[in-house]
Amino acid sequence: MNDATSFGVHRLWKDSFVSALQPGRRGPMKCIDVAGGTGDIALRILDHAREKHYDRETSVSVVDINAQMLKEGFRRFKKTMYHNTAQISFHEANAQELPSEVFPDNTFDLYTIAFGIRNCTSIPSVLKEAHRVLKPGGTFACLEFSRVNNPLLSTLYDQYSFTMIPLLGTILAGDRDSYQYLVESIRKFPPQPEFAKMIRDAGFVTGDHVDGGAWEDLWGGIACVHKGVKL
Ligand SMILES: C[S@@+](CC[C@H](N)C(=O)[O-])C[C@H]1O[C@@H](n2cnc3c(N)ncnc32)[C@H](O)[C@@H]1O
């Protein structure tokens, strides 16, 4: 369904999100991918580390609140070389209160969350937890639908979103309401400068917007990558 509503573009966004993070470039990393049930980001992280940097020690803890999503991720990983290795693990937990016995303070080098933070009821709680589990110097990276700034693109995008996505939801998944919710939740998510401020308020350094510091718009802001570093 993601493929149908985005014409597969979410895959390209995920590819560029992960390759820009360059996992494994400076040696093995401990990563946590939150709201990562499908395993899409975790798999890209491990593949990038292995293929580009010959790194077989980078690991990813995949966290999701939904056991079914985790099952799906686990099933996909079963077909990969990472299955049954220390490089991958799956955990059912809420991004807003990660269990500290499993995820102690200052544990991870990289925290990723893709198309997940929008679904969480408290964004500040998610960011606070991200800050807690990252090591000093660790990176927070978020890929999320965002705000389109160009008026023409914004009008076209609105028309597509409010008519086509719920229609595709009805036809392909028999579930108009979930896809209507998807469109509405995207509109409710804070615009880029506001979200960057929330990341800073959680204690991260985000850099300047100019030069790809605080965020990077993808496709005119249909999606956006935000990054922050824990000092
Ligand atoms: C649209 S999916 C994205 C999955 C994956 N990151 C990807 O990009 O393919 C959103 C995910 O967020 C998870 N989620 C929603 N609220 C959550 C929360 N509070 N804590 C952890 N995961 C959550 C859902 O279960 C779902 O798997």
| Closest C-alpha to ligand 1, atom 6 | 36
User: pLDDT, tens digit, for every residue of 105-154?
Assistant: 999 999 999 999 999 999 999 999 999 999 999 999 999 999 998 898 88
Q: Is 180 in the pocket of ligand 1 (CB under 6 A)?
A: no
Q: Could you tell me if 117 and 95 are in contact, meaning their C-beta atoms sit under 8 angstroms apart?
A: yes
Identify the residue whose tokens are 């209507």: 180
Task: Give residue 1's pLDDT band: very low, low, confident or very high (50, 70, 90).
Answer: low
Mean pLDDT throughout 13-17? 96
Domains by residue range for the chain, with CATH: 2-146+190-230 (3.40.50.150), 149-188 (no CATH)
pLDDT at 230 over 60: yes
User: pLDDT, tens digit, for every residue of 146-189?
Assistant: 999 889 888 888 888 888 887 877 887 788 888 888 888 888 99
pLDDT at 6 over 80: no
Which pLDDT score, from 0 to 100, does residue 3 have? 64
Mean pLDDT throughout 204-214? 68
**CA 194 to ligand 1 center in whole angstroms:** 21
| Closest C-alpha to ligand 1, atom 26 | 35
**CA 64 to ligand 1 center in whole angstroms:** 6
Q: Is 115 in the pocket of ligand 1 (CB under 6 A)?
A: yes
How much of the chain, in percent, has pLDDT values that exceed 70?
A: 94
